[in-house]
Amino acid sequence: MSSDDRLHGRLGRTGLSVSRLWLGTVNFGGRVDEPAAHRLLDHALGHGIDVIDTANIYGWRVHKGWAEEVIGTWLDRGSRRDEVVLATKVGHPMSDAPNDGGLSVRNIVASCEASLRRLRTEWIDLYQIHHVDRGVSWDEVWEAMEILLRQGKIRYVGTSNAAGWDLAAAQEAARRRGLLGLASEQCLYNLVTRHPELEVLPAATAYGIGVSVWSPLHSGLLGGVLRKRAEGTAVKSAQGRAAAALEVHRDVIAEYERLCAEFGRSPAEVGLAWVLSRPGVTAAVIGPRTTAHVDDAIRALETPLSEAQTARLEALFPPLGNGLPAPDAWIG
């Protein structure tokens, strides 16, 4: 297998080729300024990472939409648009206005047009529903997506943070309309959070939906948090999801970091390599703040874990239930 084969694959059942690492932009704004963001984008694309994953709300530490604006100025600097697969998201409120969020036809279409203006492009390759809106039917969602598909403003549709039954409901509604349906689902999945193995991954596999993983290191919990805290260099892992989880999993994380040292690899490399090895996973979304973080992620992809190493990780972070998809996970 060539290095390029390891770095790229098809997005689910579609013909779209995507890199197995996606450059996530959630840190753009506040943690990564515009010049640094442009350097990250240059570095990632130069190393074969050709999917840029963002959302209309990213950059909220400056203002909502800032990340898309920064990507737009980067795209404007050269003829890069045809080199990248551009993915963004819709659904989170962009203001306090009653129709400026959710998944109504009005908001999906208007949000797409606003994202296109910020991104300075004529089309979005993968338009993702950021969260399922329980108050809106899938028929309404597909009505909006059909408009955008016919107009050539989007190429594929994806979800994020969906349940397994959401994927099934979305696909069946798309089938009734004669549509391709979902190309991808983006979910939280890592050694600490293995819930997608119960229903999301099996549903995605059954329907031919590609899966990209966000927070593969659980916001830094699996990236050497204890060492970084001791050194005073922790950033993301010092707050939020990682800080809360550390209180529960401190002993296991300490053993994990010792195990990674025994492997001769960084915790970030090991955690990311594990996610990329999982059945049904198309790609991992990385949220680097430096080009060195990008290089670490590439090493994780190019140097898979051995079976023995994987087995030791599985013993330390066992799957839910019996390690089988639902309902066999709990009935044996």
Q: Which residues are catalytic?
A: 58
Q: Which DSSP helix (H) or strand (E) runs through 131?
A: none
Alpha carbon separation from 131 to 42, 241, 275 (Å, rounded): 29, 18, 22
Q: At what angle do helices 34-46 and 66-76 cross, to 10 degrees?
A: 60
Q: Cβ-count burial of 247 within 10 angstroms (0-12 exposed, 13-18 middle, 19+ buried)? A: exposed
The answer to whether 234 and 220 are in contact (CB under 8 A) is: yes
How far is it, in rounded angstroms, from Cα 105 to Cα 307? 48
By CB atoms closer than 10 A (0-12, 13-18, 19+), residue 241 is: middle
Confirm if 192 and 319 have CB atoms less than 8 A apart.
no
Residue 330 burial by Cβ neighbours in a 10 Å radius (0-12, 13-18, 19+): exposed
